[in-house]
Structure 1
């Protein structure tokens, strides 16, 4: 638990990296990125909020039989009246992170492949691109709050496990946990339909967001390839930088968010005993928000030049060599 919480507090470094990215977007993006800079800025600002929610929750994860549990281990865990809601908020926040990332890809797809409808996202209309993100958040929160609620049955099922591994009383800590089935008097499995459907709903959200990212990335790539002969060298370079940025922003969350959370949801169905190893998922989710902005900072030339120039000193550093 000590190492897990150290990693979670280290993830709070996201306050620095995302604040730096917001500063660069405001001071350096200008008209270079058009309205896309607002989409980037919203994602970075939300990552700042996510880091606070992460620290407020300090989630611990565990898998046993047909159940995986996410319980709060922050100093607020004794506040049962609000603890379960904060834990659900943490889970819903994950959905907002991945959907906002998909929104970035969708905007780039519209700008590159459907420029004719780009005017529909000008000005205040840009808010429309974030409506699906809010829907994903609300759905995930609802799935967790009602479909994975803290119940006496789950408390009893996890009582010995949590006491042995974490010295916690399952009746006195806030948690969410889907329990896919229970065992009847004759030893038969009694499937819990709504608990299973809640987990299916979460997996569907992950699949929809990641499929959106893959579809947009694929079309952006081919659009860039086919339109290079009609673009200026500066435009080609800028689009290339943004595509590289989005590519790494696809790979990183796939490794650190989509895959781990997907496994956390699916493994209990097959009764794969993971135990406390599931906390690698929590550690990965804690670190991700601090790493993601570094991709944009170092893949976009204007941002990279600004950061390296300030670090090395403008007198001794040649920007044209960056």
Structure 2
């Protein structure tokens, strides 16, 4: 199987799983959430619905990340589709925007858990309509990333010239059969000299800063949450929280930790690696395509930790399968 076939197959399978699991998690959040969950359930719904839309967009665009030397592009293959080139460019930019939104959501998730575990006065900013402010932060991240992709990093003849051969060797695609957005850091001139394309450097630096800021927020808030929750669990008599509330906070934290490992491995690390190698003019070639696979897997795997770590959700799932099993072995009476 060729790399583009593996990527396409992974994206389709992951999308189906993501839509099913996130819809099921939505049901659990709405119908089976404990009262102590509070405003956090709205964040969980926000993330689940986002991941459903993200998966649908992933199938429609089937983007492929590709790196060649100091060139990094997100490619949409349009030869066998009815999508016009300008539509593909917009969809590709929207897809990049969704990558930015996902980075912002990771940070907001951890900030909320940090406020809860520390009893911060700022926790009230997540109540009522105020939570919309927090939900808009990832949107701003996404708008910045999407704007950069569409306005600054659109197709160019310089990238066309350099990508034609490696694109054919790696995927068997002609340059006219694709739509892409991308950066070209060190451009080769006709006399063999190199010039730095500062718009590419600045643009990718901004997107990398979005990835890095998300990672830093998760690390800072995650460590503080871990320390605080352990304190609450070990010194129960000195706090006003009930044992049930403390156990819930512990469940939410470990769900969050698990949900963080998934994006770090599938999104933060691969995307950062491709950015750094391209900036250093190191050719990753087909290996950069693996990033498309890991990003596609993210929305399919992300809902699983919450479904099984949060006790009320886990009991509902096990109860459903128990009922199903009992019904399947019932013997009809004469």
Q: TM-score range by the shorter chain?
A: over 0.9
Q: Distance in 2 between matches of 1:258 and 1:315?
A: 40
Q: Distance in 2 between matches of 1:149 and 1:263?
A: 22
Assess, with a 3 A threshold, how the Cα gap between structure 1 residues 235 and 314 changes in structure 2: closer, same or farther: farther
SS in 2 for 1:190: strand
Q: Conserved in 1, the CA contact under 8 Å of 2:93 and 2:146? A: yes
Q: In structure 1, what is the equivalent of residue 330 of structure 2?
A: none
Q: Distance in 1 between matches of 2:153 and 2:299?
A: 25
Within the alignment, does 1:39 sit opposite 2:43 as a pair? yes
Q: Deviation per CA, 1:8-41, whole angstroms, max 9, x where unpaired?
A: 1011110001001100000011523001100111
> Which segment drifts farther, 64-73 or 285-294?
64-73
Which of residues 230, 237, 241 is equivalent to 1:225?
A: 230
Q: Distance in 1 between matches of 2:118 and 2:107?
A: 16
Q: Distance in 2 between matches of 1:269 and 1:136?
A: 22
User: Shift of the alpha carbon at 1:184?
Assistant: 3.1
Q: In structure 1, what is the equivalent of residue 271 of structure 2?
A: 261
Q: In structure 1, what is the equivalent of residue 262 of structure 2?
A: 252
Within the alignment, does 1:181 sit opposite 2:219 as a pair? no
Q: Deviation per CA, 1:164-204, whole angstroms, max 9, x where unpaired?
A: 22222213421011000112344332000010111100110
Q: Distance in 2 between matches of 1:113 and 1:54?
A: 37
User: Shift of the alpha carbon at 1:96?
Assistant: 0.8
Q: Distance in 1 between matches of 2:188 and 2:96?
A: 27
SS in 1 for 2:74: strand
Taking structure 1 as the reference length, the TM-score comes to 0.93
Q: In structure 2, what is the equivalent of residue 5 of structure 1?
A: 8
Q: Distance in 2 between matches of 1:65 and 1:315?
A: 56
SS in 1 for 2:72: strand
Q: Conserved in 1, the CA contact under 8 Å of 2:74 and 2:181? A: yes
Q: In structure 2, what is the equivalent of residue 19 of structure 1?
A: 23
Q: Distance in 2 between matches of 1:315 and 1:290?
A: 26
Which of residues 190, 205, 213 is equivalent to 1:200?
A: 205
> Which segment drifts farther, 223-232 or 65-74?
223-232
Which of residues 271, 280, 288 is equivalent to 2:290?
A: 280
Q: Distance in 2 between matches of 1:227 and 1:311?
A: 34
Q: In structure 1, what is the equivalent of residue 152 of structure 2?
A: 147
* CA RMSD after TM alignment: 1.8
Within the alignment, does 1:61 sit opposite 2:65 as a pair? yes
Taking structure 2 as the reference length, the TM-score comes to 0.90
Q: In structure 1, what is the equivalent of residue 249 of structure 2?
A: 239
User: Shift of the alpha carbon at 1:285?
Assistant: 0.6
Alignment of 1:97-112 (within 5 A): 97-112=102-117
Which of residues 315, 320, 323 is equivalent to 1:305?
A: 315
Q: Deviation per CA, 1:186-223, whole angstroms, max 9, x where unpaired?
A: 43320000101111001100011111111111111122
> Which segment drifts farther, 303-312 or 162-171?
162-171
SS in 2 for 1:272: coil
Q: Conserved in 1, the CA contact under 8 Å of 2:77 and 2:177? A: no
Q: Distance in 2 between matches of 1:119 and 1:24?
A: 25
Aligned length: 317
Q: In structure 2, what is the equivalent of residue 166 of structure 1?
A: 171
Within the alignment, does 1:71 sit opposite 2:56 as a pair? no
User: Shift of the alpha carbon at 1:60?
Assistant: 1.8
